[in-house]
Structure 1
Amino acid sequence: MTGPDSSPVVVIGGGPVGLATALVLARHGVRSIVCEQYSGINPHPRAHVVNTRSMELFRTWGIADAVLRDAVDPMWMMNILWKSTLSGEEFGRVSMLEVPEDQILARLNSSPVTITSCAQDRVQEHLLEAVRATGLTEVRYDTTVTAIDNLKQQVHLTTRSQAGTDTLTAQFVVVADGATGKFRDSLGIGMNGQPDLGHQLNIYFHADLSPWTDHSPALLVWAINSLSPGVFIGMDGHNRWTFNRNFDPATESIEQFTPEHCRTLIRDAIGDHSVDVEVCSVGTWTMSARTATNYRKDRVLLAGDAAHQFPPTGGLGMNTGLADADNLGWKLAAVVQGWASDALLDTYESDRRPVAESNTAHSVRNAISMAQSGIGPGSADVARQLESHDPSVASQARINLGVSIPLQRAHFDCLAQELGYAYDSTYDAPVAESHVQSNRVGARLPHVWIQREGSQISSHDLLKVGFTLIAGPAGTMWVEELNRSSTAVPHSSVVFGSDAHADPLALATLGLDDDSAILIRPDGHIAWRSNESDVPLTVGLAYAVAGAPTRQATQA
């Protein structure tokens, strides 16, 4: 399929998930066209948490350092505050440093990177730069896809731009047009879950809040008061902020929130009307907890918010979508390039949908916990108690906050939710504060520090585009077996003791004996291991690219 109006893959939506999908495709040598209805990246920052797994992906894609340059200082990630106003009384905090030592060590030892916060528009800028640098992706802004003709052999898309109406032809289409996109419904794909858990107003503004943040930096500051309750989110640790508050569409309209009104709300929440506030943009959004009933309709696949939507309590929305892109991208590349069957694409849903359901449950639990404690968006009752003229009522409200605030830690610190899922239908991601890396089939390759060519690197740095075989010091026969198979599947190999060096503890963490081997998928998850199965290596690889369940790679 060639020509300016055709592409192996068309991606609808130029947000983080759409751009990430295009980047993964390009890394595997597959061209794509990204159609985005807007004229460029939306400067209004929405998502901001970049969790550990997403930072690992960014490290692989070569943009982690750029993202960190735009992220908040690490000290901002250490605290979540609840105060009367930004300048007022502190009621409590969740400190990421006040945890058991094993929890801190687990986060330090489980990955070469860690969670951070970087505004979504900055993340998109770095993804866009990386996508364009590949030379394999055309990003078309001001281009709206108005119709998809989902044929069996190829897909026809009708587009509208300033140049007029056009037709695109693709082998596959990825719908990454967000929670409010229209194509999921037009494909006849439903959603399970709760569509309306509440409404929020988000104000993006610039202001110097350093008089209060310099001495007490915090990623989130919840303001609990009756005048202007909400939450401040520092987008860059300097002057970019968002302020989120409840919004009632039955009694309020977006038109009411003029720049002057928003400035007043923000200053009330700061507790200081002398602050210079520049209101940049205002938007509303609906909090929901839903997952698509199907991730695929013939040659069209869903990713990101088009496939799943969570409450923000956990910061998992964008991050789940980025991992969707990593999983789907290599599988589309494999099918387009002919080294995997179309059935491989069915494993995209069986891999990713359970993760979305687990993340939904985690996010809803967090939202319920905050609501029941009265310290989330609906803090009006607690605010009235805190401001009561009865000293005993106000005192008891402060005591209650002191008890309930520390219970919110899982909302902000759950490494197992970030890294603990495995692509195996028999496996449920653990919900636990202390994460232990797994080397079982289906799990992400554990991170350990190793030596190669005199430098310390992560085990993740051994992975190349395609499959990677990693063998113990006496496991060269596995490399020979893979090379003898003359497989068309792109692959590389590493033998400890010659290509890289690791101590016994690192090898044990990877699950490698002296003469064993593990096979890693292009998305960093373990596809097969010699010391778990009687299945030959080549059969395990064949299962992985034929769309067979991952667990079959461990069955004779």
Structure 2
Amino acid sequence: MTDIDTPVVIIGAGPVGLATALVLGRHGVRSVVCEQYGGINPHPRAHVVNTRSMELFRAWGIADAVRADAVDPAQAGTILWKQTLAGEPLGRIDFADGTQNSLTQRAHASAEQLASCAQDRVQQHLLDAVLAQGAAAVHYDTTVVEVTDHGDAVDVTLDGAGGRQILRTRYVVAADGAVGSTRDKLGIAMEGSPVLGHQLNIYFHADLSPWMRQDPALLVWLINDTSPGVLIGMDGARRWTFQRSFDPAVESPQDYPPERCAQIIRDAVGTTELDVDIRSVGSWTLTARTAETYRSGRVLLVGDAAHQFPPTGGLGMNSGLADADNLGWKLAAVLGGRASDALLDSYERERRPIAVENARHSMLNAIKMAEVGIGPETAAIAARLAGPDPAVAAAERRRIAEAVPRQRPHFDALNQEIGYVYGAARQVFGVGGPPPSATDYTPTAVPGARLPHAWVERDGERVSTHDLLGPGFTLITGPKGTGWADSLAEPCPESGEDSGAQPAKPGEPGEPGEPAETWEGMVQRTVVIGRDVTSPDGRCPELLGIGADGALLVRPDGHIAWHSTGGSTPASALADLLRGAERPAQ
């Protein structure tokens, strides 16, 4: 056996890298996280934490902390279009004004709701959880110089405070973002759209309450000929970002000193009197690309290293968090000797189609925003709005007001957040297949789908079906389904000589030892409806579709692995799944 310093090395300590470490730690897998910068970037970039991510945070124990740092929902549910912040609204979208059907869908779909929390705050809560967990070492000011895959192990060459060193590991997770070098060094190409533009992101502190107090909003899209862009509230009070187009062929962020940026903000607000504290200036590229493969040997890509979307839809960070949750339990199963290395191939099969669809959705949102003045026609629309002919200006205002409601799927896309189905997704999102609805979500309990949420009662407490899950597999049965649970006490089916599994000592994933002789520890818990929990409103058995004597097996990432519509037992289904003998969620 090759001597291993740590089972997993993670390159990048952004939200996705830290989430990967946290998920691995929940399964008892140690990791080392290497970050080239000195700490969390205080410049907030992403801010949308969608419903699925909040469900993950709930499982990881940080949802309350993220919610406490999020923008007040009363403000976060409003999107405005104006000429300047001081001007009158051209149009608006309020989540609370949705159709009764959409409001009902959101109310019943999850125990959590979409939130807006600045990425640096999200990242801090993830870091706190990782450090409290104690399974990962996080090294800042540490650059990964080289990754050498030997087939049975990987050498990772680091430059850090202690000088140059080499760590030997089983697997490497590249979470070093869109501009990270790991993907390129592996020779993995990106496919998708060409570059559509470049954006400047100005992070500043200012008191905008004189304009926000009466009509609070999370996003304000500003259409004018002096300082067009979008104003985003990062805390609903003093922390803001302003994004506008710029041309890197003729300028760079260094051409935007604080004085110039402060004037840009004042022009966007529509005032000459405003104290603006410019904190930082960054840039990003508007594109939609997906890595051709998510894996090269023992190196796997997650987050922006694997996919990049326009921010129109807020799916970038959220997709990466789901990547981490999907990959983490599979790495733990392989390192723990409960599955062959082939299981890791299912990570790309499941997550890449979702990324392709999220890229499509985000790109359509970006294109559609042109009709409301955001895009290549901004200058022309701004000129009509501010022109000398009142009739032309009034007609343009009416046109924008009529077009704004059509942008709702950009901001309120519940099915895009939680409705994706592994396995079936490859057919739905395939060439020639109809695109799925971004908004209309219908809970389904088929293999590959996220476990539907329903409120149940456990020990006198109202909890979600998601609260019944844990790091291991969970078997949920109907009232007469105790026989399913008994099958899990059977000995493991023979694994076969060619399984490729690395046996692990219980509690020490990645270390040599003896394989388990039963399914104990793999299926962490069994929940019998009517015995362990009750469903006061009767929705749970109906949503899960298991009847009185049926059952379903839920994976550690909350997606359904198996349903009791066939003749197999949970034990044999789990054995097939973990060995990679069949594709998960076919």
TM-score, length-normalised on structure 2?
0.92
Aligned length: 550
Distance 1:131 1:165 in 2: 25
Q: Specify the alignment match of 1:448 in structure 2.
A: 454
Aligned match of 2:265 = 266
Query: Contact 2:477–2:528 (CA<8 Å) still a contact in 1?
Result: yes
1:182-233 per-residue CA deviation (whole Å, 9 max, x = no partner) reads 1101101111112411100000000011111122111100111111111100
Q: Which deviates further from its counterpart, 226-235 or 394-403?
A: 394-403
**Which residue of 553, 560, 578 maps to 1:519?**
553
Q: Find the aligned partners of 1:9 and 1:375 in 2 and give their Cα distance.
A: 43
In structure 2, the CA distance between the partners of 1:378 and 1:326, relative to structure 1 (3 Å rule), is: farther
Alignment-derived partner of residue 569 in structure 2: 536
Q: Which moved more, 1:534-543 or 1:368-377?
A: 368-377
1:500 positional shift = 0.8
> In structure 1, how many angstroms separate the alpha carbons of the residues matched to 2:221 and 2:156?
45
Per-residue CA deviation, residues 135-177 of structure 1 (Å, 9 max, x unaligned), is: 1100000000011111101000111113211111110000000
Q: Separation in 1 of the partners of 2:584 and 2:300?
A: 21
Give the distance between the partners of 2:252 and 2:292, measured in 1 at CA.
32
1:487 match: secondary structure:
coil
8 Å CA contact 2:2–2:153 kept in 1: the answer is no
| Alpha carbons 2:371, 2:403 under 8 Å: kept | no
Secondary structure of the 2:331 match is helix
Alpha-carbon shift at residue 427 of structure 1 (Å)? 4.3
CA shift, 1:489, in A, is 5.5
* CA–CA distance in structure 1, aligned partners of residues 347 and 158 of structure 2: 27
Which residue identity does 2:575 align to in structure 1?
Answer: A
Contact residue 339 and residue 489 of structure 1 kept, 8 A: no
What SS is found at the alignment partner of 2:574?
Answer: helix
Q: Is the 8 A contact 2:201 2:241 kept in 1?
A: yes
What SS does the corresponding residue of 2:284 show, helix, strand or coil?
strand
Contact 2:71/2:115, CA 8 A, preserved across alignment: yes
Show the counterpart of 1:435: 441
User: Counterpart of 1:318?
Assistant: 317
**How far 1:2 sits from its partner (Å)?**
10
Decide whether the 8 Å contact of 1:32 with 1:138 is kept in 2.
Answer: yes
Match of 1:501 in 2: 534
SS in 1 for 2:446: coil
Q: Distance in 2 between matches of 1:523 and 1:432?
A: 22
Checking the alignment, whether the CA contact within 8 Å between 2:205 and 2:278 is kept in structure 1 is yes
CA-CA distance at 1:249 after TM superposition:
1.2
Judged with a 3 Å threshold, the aligned counterparts in structure 2 of structure 1 residues 55 and 551 are, in CA distance, closer, same or farther, namely closer
| Deviation (angstroms), 1:438 | 1.0
Instruction: Tell me which moved more, 459-468 or 386-395.
Output: 386-395
User: Which segment is superposed worse, 482-491 or 33-42?
Assistant: 482-491
Matches within 5 A, 1:466-485: 466-485=472-491
Q: Deviations over 1:274-294 (max 9, x none)?
A: 111100000111111000000
Contact conserved, 2:371 with 2:400, CA < 8 A, in 1? no
Match of 1:192 in 2: 191
Pairwise CA RMSD: 1.5
* Residue 129 (str. 1) matches residue 163 (str. 2): no
CA distance in 2, matches of 1:298, 1:448: 40
Query: After the TM superposition, which of the residue ranges 81-90 and 29-38 deviates more from structure 2?
Result: 81-90
Residue 376 (structure 1) shift: 4.5
Deviations 1:2-47 (CA, angstroms, capped at 9, x unpaired): 99x8210000000000000000000000000000000000000000
Matched, 1:40 2:39: yes
* 1:196 partner SS: coil
Mapping of residues 157-172 of structure 1, within 5 Å: 157-172=156-171
Q: Return the alpha-carbon distance in structure 2 between the equivalents of residues 37 and 357 of structure 1.
A: 29
**CA displacement, residues 421-443 of structure 1 (integer Å, 9 cap, x when unaligned):** 01113344732422111111110
Contact 1:246 1:378 in 2 (8 A): no
Which amino acid in structure 2 is aligned with residue 41 of structure 1? I
C-alpha displacement of 1:488: 5.9
Identity of aligned residues (%): 56
- Give the 3-state SS of the residue equivalent to 1:123 in structure 2: helix
CA separation of 1:405 and 1:375: change in aligned 2, threshold 3 A: farther
Structure 1 residue ranges, 4+ long, deviating more than 4 angstroms after superposition = none
Match of 1:75 in 2: 74
Is the alpha carbon distance of 1:430 and 1:483 closer, same or farther for their aligned partners in structure 2, counting shifts above 3 Å?
farther
**Structure 2, gaps ≥5 residues long:** 430-434, 492-517
Whether the 8 Å CA contact 2:484–2:569 is kept in 1: the answer is no
Is the CA contact (8 Å cut-off) linking 1:420 and 1:430 kept in structure 2?
no
Once residues 420 and 551 of structure 2 are traced to their aligned partners in structure 1, the CA distance between those partners, rounded to angstroms, is 22
Give CA-to-partner distance per residue, 1:61-109, whole Å, 9 cap, x none.
0000000111000011221000111111210111112221111010010
Amino acid at match of 1:505: R
SS at match of 1:171: strand
Alignment of structure 1 residues 380-395 onto 2, 5 Å: 380-395=379-394
| Letter aligned with residue 526 of structure 2 | S
**Compared CA separation, residues 185 and 335, structure 1 to 2 (3 A):** same
TM-score (norm 1): 0.97
Are 2:459 and 1:458 aligned? no
Aligned-partner SS, 1:484: coil
Code of the aligned partner of 2:26: R
- SS of the aligned residue for 2:393 comes to helix
Q: Displacement of 1:369 after TM fit? A: 0.4
**502, 510, 514: which one aligns with 2:544:** 510
**Offset, 1:372:** 4.1
CA offset at residue 551 of structure 1?
Answer: 4.1
State the alpha-carbon separation in 2 of the partners of residues 25 and 184 from structure 1.
22
8 A contact 1:149–1:155 mirrored in 2: yes
- Higher mean displacement: 392-401 or 18-27: 392-401
Q: Which amino acid aligns with 2:427?
A: T
1:347 deviation in Å?
0.3
Give the drift of 1:248.
Answer: 0.8
SS at match of 2:265: helix
Alignment of 1:51-62 (within 5 A): 51-62=50-61
Q: 1:192-211 counterparts in 2 under 5 A?
A: 192-211=191-210
Between the aligned partners of 2:215 and 2:376, the Cα distance in structure 1 is 22
Structure 1 residue runs without a partner (length 5+): none
SS at match of 2:144: strand
- The CA deviation at 1:328 is 0.4
Counterpart Cα distance in 1 of 2:520 and 2:146: 36
Q: 1:2 to 1:86 in 2, by over 3 A?
A: farther
Tell me how far 1:460 sits from its aligned partner: 0.4
Question: How far, CA to CA, are the matches of 1:295 and 1:253 in structure 2?
Answer: 32
Q: Which moved more, 1:381-390 or 1:418-427?
A: 418-427
The answer (yes or no) to whether the contact 2:487–2:569 under 8 Å persists in 1 is no
Aligned partner of 1:426 in structure 2 is: 427
Contact 2:153–2:298 (Cα < 8 Å) also in 1? yes
